[in-house]
């Protein structure tokens, strides 16, 4: 079997699907994308096709290493997202050829169902209680919300109090009948992270995500030494080589690699194993589409340290399309009491509505994240 063609489809809301065709009629799908830089990743996918067209798609490990190492410059969000989506599609092909779900090729199930969580509250946490109540009806008991709105490098107690008020309201309303993570989303700089985390301690969030920006990772152990709240990070780390420094330095209790940003199934399965060696939980980041989610689930179902899985149903970013709009086998992605079951079909287990993808790709938006500014006009972290 040989790879014959790579076709990319940029799609609403802010996703990109990749189809890899072969000369034996088996095709695989993946989701290479960095939110807000879809066109850059698209260019990278097509540059990397030099490593793939004419090659045997079953040699995933050699193709991965060649994509990663054949270029003098490597790593980072664009290239690793391109490799991620290609890797997902190669595993999809392999599973389809062998007639088994990808997790069977990774050693089989380590669990029977995977705990999922949902976003509430949008970019500026508001109406969070109503959002939680709505998602509770769908069976969820675990949520994530932004831990604050914009935050200055050194900010006022009023800003801190406003962030804490949202969390206090959740606990006042639901007690400990639900769990929630707080995503600082990189908005909080090191000086304020310690202040905000201290004020949040009494409310025992399940975790605090990206307590500081990934480029400030040296603060993770310092912050962890000052709190009992588990710290989580990983969506802006793109390979084992990014994660190894963070694991060795300590401070992170939950690793959140993104299956569409960190080199795909091949790389994230290795990151999961590295995390387990440090007694770190795995909670793949996934605010994206169905192929990214399916790839995440396959790694979750073979990783004992997988603790939570993000999914984008109802997420505030999904304007113009919802999680399963481009999927024909929607029932395979049903939620069961806040959990998902293992994918059942060969490969990733996503039957893509190719006709709809082709049609919708003709009018794909160029999504960009909001750009926030502080009151003094300086750019703020979104």
Ligand X SMILES: O=C(O)C(=O)C[C@@H](O)[C@H](O)CO
298 catalytic residue (yes or no): no
Q: Considering Cα of 194, then 195, then 196, then 199, what sign does the dihedral take?
A: positive
Active-site option among 176, 185, 219, 261: 185
Nearest distance in Å: CB 369, ligand X: 5
27, 20 in Cβ contact below 8 A? yes
* Complete DSSP assignment for 129-148: HHHHHHHHHTT--EEEEES-
Helix (H, G, I), strand (E, B), or coil: what is residue 72? coil
Beta bridge partners of 10: 16
Mark 355-374 with x for binding to ligand X (rule: CB under 6 A) and - for no binding.
--------------x-----
Q: Please, which residue, 25 or 370, has the CB nearer to ligand X?
A: 370
Find which of Mg ion, ligand X, none residue 202 binds, CB within 5 to 8 Å per kind. Answer: none
> Whole-angstrom Cα distance, residue 113 to residue 110?
9
Residue 363, CA distances (Å) to 12, 14, 42 in order:
8, 12, 16
Q: Does 42 bind ligand X (CB under 6 A)?
A: no
Helix (H, G, I), strand (E, B), or coil: what is residue 31? coil
46 catalytic residue (yes or no): no
Residues that bind Mg ion (CB under 5 A): 183
Choose which of 35, 42, 92, 267 interacts with ligand X (CB under 6 A): 35
> Is residue 183 annotated as involved in ligand binding?
yes
- ∠ Cα 236 30 290 (to 5°): 80
Q: Please, which residue, 258 or 300, has the CB nearer to Mg ion?
A: 258
268, 262 in Cβ contact below 8 A? yes
Nearest distance in Å: CB 1, ligand X: 35
For 347, residues 6+ apart whose C-beta sits below 8 A from its C-beta are: 28, 91, 92, 93, 94, 95, 96, 101, 102
328, 351 in Cβ contact below 8 A? yes
Choose which of 183, 242, 267, 325 interacts with ligand X (CB under 6 A): 183
Nearest distance in Å: CB 157, ligand X: 26
Closest by Cα among 271, 231, 228, 272 to 250: 231
40, 59 in Cβ contact below 8 A? no
Find which of ligand X, Mg ion, none residue 369 binds, CB within 5 to 8 Å per kind. Answer: ligand X
Q: Please, which residue, 283 or 302, has the CB nearer to Mg ion?
A: 283
- DSSP, res 323: T
Nearest distance in Å: CB 13, ligand X: 10
> Is residue 235 annotated as involved in ligand binding?
yes
Q: Name which of residues 206 to 245 contact ligand X (CB under 6 A).
A: 235
Q: Please, which residue, 317 or 335, has the CB nearer to ligand X?
A: 317
For 72, residues 6+ apart whose C-beta sits below 8 A from its C-beta are: none
Q: Does 185 bind ligand X (CB under 6 A)?
A: yes
Mark 286-305 with x for binding to ligand X (rule: CB under 6 A) and - for no binding.
-x------------------
Q: Does 285 bind ligand X (CB under 6 A)?
A: yes
Nearest distance in Å: CB 287, ligand X: 4
- Mind telling me the catalytic residues? 185, 285
Site residues (vs ligand X, CB under 6 A): 35-36, 183, 185, 235, 285, 287, 310, 317, 369
Q: From the annotation, which residues make up the binding site?
A: 183, 209, 235
Q: From the annotation, which residues make up the binding site for Mg(2+)?
A: 183, 209, 235
């Amino acid at each position: 079997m040989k790879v014959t063609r790579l076709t990319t489809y940029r799609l609403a809301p802010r996703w990109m699907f990749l189809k890899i065709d072969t000369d034996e009629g088996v095709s695989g799908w993946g989701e290479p994308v960095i939110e807000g830089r879809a066109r850059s990743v698209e260019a990278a996918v097509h540059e990397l096709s030099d490593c793939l067209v004419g090659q045997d798609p079953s040699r995933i490990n050699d193709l991965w290493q060649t994509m990663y190492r054949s270029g003098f410059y490597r790593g980072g969000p664009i290239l690793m997202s391109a490799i991620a989506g290609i890797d997902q599609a190669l595993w999809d092909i392999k599973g389809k050829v062998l007639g088994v779900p990808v997790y069977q090729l990774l050693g089989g199930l380590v669990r029977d169902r995977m705990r999922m969580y949902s976003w509430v509250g949008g970019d500026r946490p508001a109406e969070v209680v109503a959002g939680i109540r709505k998602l509770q009806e769908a069976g969820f008991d675990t949520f994530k919300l932004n831990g604050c709105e914009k935050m200055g490098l050194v900010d006022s107690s009023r800003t801190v109090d406003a962030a804490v008020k949202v969390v206090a309201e959740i606990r006042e309303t639901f007690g400990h009948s639900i769990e929630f993570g707080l995503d600082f989303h990189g908005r909080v700089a090191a000086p304020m992270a310690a202040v905000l985390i201290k004020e949040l301690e009494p409310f025992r969030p399940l975790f605090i995500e990206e307590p500081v920006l990934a480029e400030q990772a040296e603060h993770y152990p310092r912050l962890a030494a000052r709190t009992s709240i588990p710290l989580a990070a990983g969506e802006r780390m793109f390979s084992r080589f990014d994660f190894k420094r963070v694991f060795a330095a300590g401070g992170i209790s939950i690793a959140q690699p993104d299956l569409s940003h960190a080199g795909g199934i091949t790389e994230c399965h290795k990151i999961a194993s590295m995390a387990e060696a440090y007694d770190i939980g795995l909670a793949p980041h996934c605010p994206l589409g169905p192929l990214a989610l399916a790839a995440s689930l396959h790694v979750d179902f073979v990783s004992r340290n997988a603790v939570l899985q993000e999914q984008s149903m109802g997420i505030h970013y999904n304007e113009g399309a919802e999680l399963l709009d481009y999927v024909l086998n929607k029932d395979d992605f049903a939620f069961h009491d806040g959990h998902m079951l293992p994918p059942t079909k060969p490969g990733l287990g996503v039957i893509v509505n190719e006709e709809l993808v082709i049609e919708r790709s003709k009018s794909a938006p160029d999504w960009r994240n909001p750009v926030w500014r502080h009151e003094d006009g300086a750019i703020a972290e979104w």
